A and B are shown apart, each in its own frame.
Chain A
Amino acid sequence: TQLLEQSPQFLSIQEGENLTVYCNSSSVFSSLQWYRQEPGEGPVLLVTVVTGGEVKKLKRLTFQFGDARKDSSLHITAAQPGDTGLYLCAGVGGGSYIPTFGRGTSLIVHP
Chain B
Amino acid sequence: NAGVTQTPKFQVLKTGQSMTLQCAQDMNHNSMYWYRQDPGMGLRLIYYSASEGTTDKGEVPNGYNVSRLNKREFSLRLESAAPSQTSVYFCASSPGGAPDTQYFGPGTRLTVL
Interface residues, chain A, CB within 8 Å of chain B? Answer: 1, 9, 30-31, 33, 40-45, 48, 50, 88, 90, 92, 97-99, 101-104
**What's the interface size class on B, roughly?**
20 to 34
B residues in contact with A30, CB < 8 Å? 98-99
B106 x A41 contact (CB < 8 A): yes
A88, B90: Cβ atoms closer than 8 Å: no
Kindly list the 7 A-B residue pairs having the minimum CB-CB distance in the complex, ordered from nearest: A42-B104, A31-B99, A103-B42, A101-B43, A101-B42, A48-B99, A43-B104
Q: Is B45 part of the binding interface, using a Cβ–Cβ cutoff of 8 Å?
A: yes
B43, A45: Cβ atoms closer than 8 Å: no
B residues sitting closer than 8 Å to A (CB atoms) are 4, 33, 40-45, 48, 58-59, 90, 92, 96, 98-107
- Distance between Cα atoms of A99 and B93 in the complex (Å): 12
Contact B107–A42 (Cβ < 8 Å): yes
Whole-angstrom distance between the alpha carbons of A91 and B88 in the complex?
Answer: 22
Q: Distance (Å) between the CB of B109 and the closest chain A CB?
A: 9
With contacts A42-B90, A42-B92, A101-B43 known, is A31 near B107, CB below 8 A? no
Q: How far is the CB of B68 from chain A (nearest CB, A)?
A: 15
Q: Residues of B contacting A98 with CB < 8 Å?
A: 33, 45, 48, 58
Interface of A is mostly: loop
* A99 and B41 alpha carbons, distance in the complex (Å): 15
Given contacts A33-B101, A45-B102, list 4 more A-B pairs with CB under 8 A. A9-B40, A40-B107, A42-B105, A98-B58
B58 and chain A: residue at smallest CB distance: A98
Set B42, B90, B103, B106: member contacting A104, Cβ < 8 A = B42
Q: In the bound complex, how far is the Cα of B102 from the Cα of A31, in angstroms?
A: 13
Q: Are B105 and A88 in contact (CB under 8 A)?
A: no
The complex places the Cα of A1 from the Cα of B60 at a distance, in Å, of 13
A4 to B: closest C-beta gap in Å = 8
Residue in B closest to A44 when the chains form the complex, CB atoms: B104
B103 surroundings in chain A (CB, below 8 A): 45
A92 and B92 in contact, given A40-B106, A102-B42, A103-B42 (Cβ under 8 angstroms): no
- Complex Cα spacing A92 to B99, Å: 8
